[in-house]
């Protein structure tokens, strides 16, 4: 797992053709706005979260975020344990995100 600053995260993501953005917040949080093209898997779903992760392609690079960076850090650690080699945590989470968000 790598902790990336907002700038590092954006820069690395922009140059990564193998990237998937993963939002680990709750449905209520996601309703307030999500980073474009992100997929959501709520980390609070417990074993359900693990099952959803297991369905993902482990060869991809995952850019993971939450509200503040704590849950996404936990998610990256779990992903590493499950065999994901490239999980990048957004330090500061969406609270420090300066770019546009989309709402569903």
Q: What is the CATH architecture of 2-96?
A: 3-Layer(aba) Sandwich (3.40)
Q: Rounded to two decimals, what is the model's pTM?
A: 0.95
5: which 2 tokens?
């600053």
62 φ/ψ sector (left φ>0, alpha ψ -120 to 50, else beta): beta
Does the pLDDT value for residue 1 go beyond 90? no
The catalytic residue among 35, 66, 90, 94 is 66
Going from N- to C-terminal start, the domains of the chain cover: 2-96
How much is the pLDDT for 104?
Answer: 65
How much is the pLDDT for 100?
Answer: 87
Distances (CA, A) of 88 to 32, 82, 96: 23, 15, 16
73: which 2 tokens?
């850090």
Kindly report, residue by residue over 34-74, the tens digit of the pLDDT: 999 999 999 999 999 999 999 999 999 999 999 999 999 99
Q: Could you tell me the pLDDT band of residue 92, with boundaries at 50, 70 and 90? A: very high
For the question of residue 66 being annotated catalytic, the response is: yes
In three-state secondary structure terms, 104 is: coil
Q: Are 66 and 72 in contact (CB under 8 A)?
A: yes
């Amino acid at each position: 797992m790598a902790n990336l600053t907002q700038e590092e995260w954006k820069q690395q993501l922009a140059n990564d053709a193998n990237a998937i953005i993963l939002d680990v917040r709750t449905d209520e949080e996601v309703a307030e706005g999500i980073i474009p093209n992100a997929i959501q898997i709520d980390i609070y779903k417990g074993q359900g979260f693990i099952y959803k992760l297991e369905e993902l392609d482990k060869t991809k690079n995952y850019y993971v975020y939450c509200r503040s960076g704590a849950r996404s850090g936990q998610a990256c650690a779990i992903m590493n344990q499950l065999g994901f080699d490239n999980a990048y945590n957004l330090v500061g989470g969406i609270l420090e995100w300066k770019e546009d968000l989309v709402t569903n």
